């Protein structure tokens, strides 16, 4: 059984504006909506500037959904009457940082944008990291590679916890410095992928340890945090199919999915 809430512009407008605001600013939000009674359709927001004049109980449920990171359904009092309320949690829009502005990054940008992700392309080579080559990217940055390590503000700012990074510069020095910066961050990213063989990644990690002045190379611990080689095994043999493999693995990591065929998942569910 499915229930639909049909609204006029007067009440739907603020909701659509809030969703657009959260999407553009990459902000998590929650919205609590009354599902029955004379206050049907009344709502309160959490995570954005408050866009409603509803009571504390409705706003409190939205804030609880935001704090818990999951949607909730409860019966709560609204202006003296207990009603059913749905608090819908909306996570922040994920972002993909593509380190490397070669031709193989172009299909990855296109696929990520189709999914609604915020896409940044960054490379130390100014002739490659251009808006003309990546018109769909939200940001195109020329990285000062020599300044990637340390406390230089603005070099790698703008990360969110749910972001993913794909390292594919095809430059050993750039890969090492970028990876050192990412592994040295206080807040780990959801996904860090490195293009190439795991043998090359181990060599890059040895250079990372040298750049970070570590007496030993914690290669195994680092490898457990990385996706190397990045991407799912889908038989890729072109830039486009490689991009598909990478996007699929990032999506799998973002939602903690299994990556198994749905027919196997449905078959297992129906037999249990």
- The pLDDT value recorded for residue 159 is 86
| The dihedral sign for the CA sequence 252, 254, 256, 257 | negative
Per-residue pLDDT tens over the stretch 145-166: 777 765 443 457 788 888 999 9
Per-residue pLDDT tens over the stretch 95-149: 999 999 999 999 999 999 999 999 999 999 999 999 999 999 999 999 887 777 6
- The pLDDT value recorded for residue 17 is 92
Residue 269 inside a domain? The answer is no
Q: What average pLDDT does range 60-76 have in this prediction?
A: 94
To which residue do tokens 């080689």 refer? 229
Whole-number Cα distances in Å, 243 to 36, 56, 150: 46, 46, 31
- Residue 1, judged by CB atoms within 10 A of its CB (0-12, 13-18, 19+), counts as exposed
pTM of the model: 0.85
Say which CATH number the domain at 105 has: 3.40.50.720
Last residue of some domain: 90, 120, 148?
A: 90
- 160 and 184 within one domain: yes
Residue 155 inside a domain? The answer is yes
Structure tokens at 218: 């914690």
- 161 and 146 within one domain: yes
Separation of CA 58 from chain center: 28
Residue 153 inside a domain? The answer is yes
Structure tokens at 94: 């994920």
Last residue of some domain: 70, 90, 110?
A: 90
Residue 157 inside a domain? The answer is yes
Q: Give residue 22's domain range.
A: 9-90
- The pLDDT value recorded for residue 153 is 39
Residue 266 inside a domain? The answer is no
239-255 helix and 105-114 helix, angle to the nearest 10 degrees: 40
- 120 and 242 within one domain: yes
Distance CA 231, CA 239 (A): 12
| The dihedral sign for the CA sequence 15, 16, 17, 21 | positive
3-state secondary structure of 28: coil
Q: CB-based contacts of 231: which residues, under 8 Å, 6+ apart?
A: 193, 242, 245, 246, 248, 249
Distance CA 92, CA 62 (A): 15
Residue 211 inside a domain? The answer is yes
């Amino acid at each position: 059984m499915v229930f639909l809430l049909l609204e006029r512009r007067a009440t739907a407008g603020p909701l659509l504006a809030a969703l657009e605001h959260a999407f553009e600013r990459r902000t998590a939000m929650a919205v609590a909506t009354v599902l029955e009674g004379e206050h049907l359709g009344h709502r309160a927001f959490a995570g954005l500037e408050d866009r409603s004049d509803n009571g504390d109980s409705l706003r409190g449920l939205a804030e609880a959904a935001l704090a818990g990171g999951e949607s909730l359904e409860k019966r709560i009092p609204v202006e003296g009457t207990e009603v059913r309320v749905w608090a819908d949690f909306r996570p922040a829009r994920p972002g993909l940082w593509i380190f490397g502005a070669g031709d193989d990054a172009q299909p990855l940008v296109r696929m990520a944008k189709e999914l609604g992700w915020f896409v940044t392309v960054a490379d130390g080579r100014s002739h490659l990291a251009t808006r003309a080559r990546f018109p769909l990217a939200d940001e195109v940055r020329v990285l000062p590679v020599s300044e990637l390590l340390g406390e230089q503000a603005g070099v790698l700012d703008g990360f969110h916890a749910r972001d993913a990074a794909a390292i594919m510069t095809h430059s050993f020095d750039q890969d090492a410095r970028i990876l050192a910066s990412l592994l040295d961050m206080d807040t780990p990213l959801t996904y860090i992928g490195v293009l190439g063989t795991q043998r090359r990644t181990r060599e890059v990690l040895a250079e990372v340890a040298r750049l970070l002045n570590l007496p030993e190379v914690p290669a195994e611990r680092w490898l457990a945090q990385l996706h190397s080689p990045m991407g799912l095994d889908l038989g890729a043999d072109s830039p486009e199919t490689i991009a598909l493999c990478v996007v699929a693995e990032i999506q799998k990591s973002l939602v903690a999915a299994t990556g198994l065929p749905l027919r196997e998942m449905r078959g297992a569910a129906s037999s249990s």
